[in-house]
Amino acid sequence: MNKGELTKAVAAASGLSQSDAGKAVDALFETVAAAAKSRQQVAIAGFGTFSAKTRNAREGRNPATKETIKIPEKTSLAFKPASALKDI
């Protein structure tokens, strides 16, 4: 399912127009991204938790040249599904 299909499904399930459902979906994504940027968790009961995780800096290898390279620290968004979602 892509974003357009998600918007259509939200519109059908909620009775909103497709335009309003698109705004709601966009607002949800923007809110989760802003919370992750400020290192806050977003917990949605029965669905899961979005949180920012930091991967430590490490050494890696360039597979083509076998040269050792330094991989910098990186922050990424992680999702942990709720047990109700896992059971589906």
Task: Judge whether residue 58 has pLDDT over 90.
Answer: yes
Q: 8-20, pLDDT tens digit by residue?
A: 999 999 999 999 9
Q: What total number of domains does the chain contain?
A: 1
User: How far apart are alpha carbons 88 and 35 in whole angstroms?
Assistant: 27
Please give the residue range of the domain that contains residue 56: 3-86
CATH of the domain at 22: 4.10.520.10
pTM: 0.73
Task: Judge whether residue 86 has pLDDT over 90.
Answer: no
Helices 3-14, 18-37: crossing angle, 10 deg rounding: 120
Mean of the pLDDT values across residues 70-77? 93
Structure tokens at 69: 């390279």
Mean of the pLDDT values across residues 27-42? 92
Task: Judge whether residue 84 has pLDDT over 90.
Answer: no
Residue-by-residue DSSP string for 20-59: HHHHHHHHHHHHHHHHHHTT--EEETTTEEEEEEEEPPEE
- Beta bridge partner(s), residue 42: 50
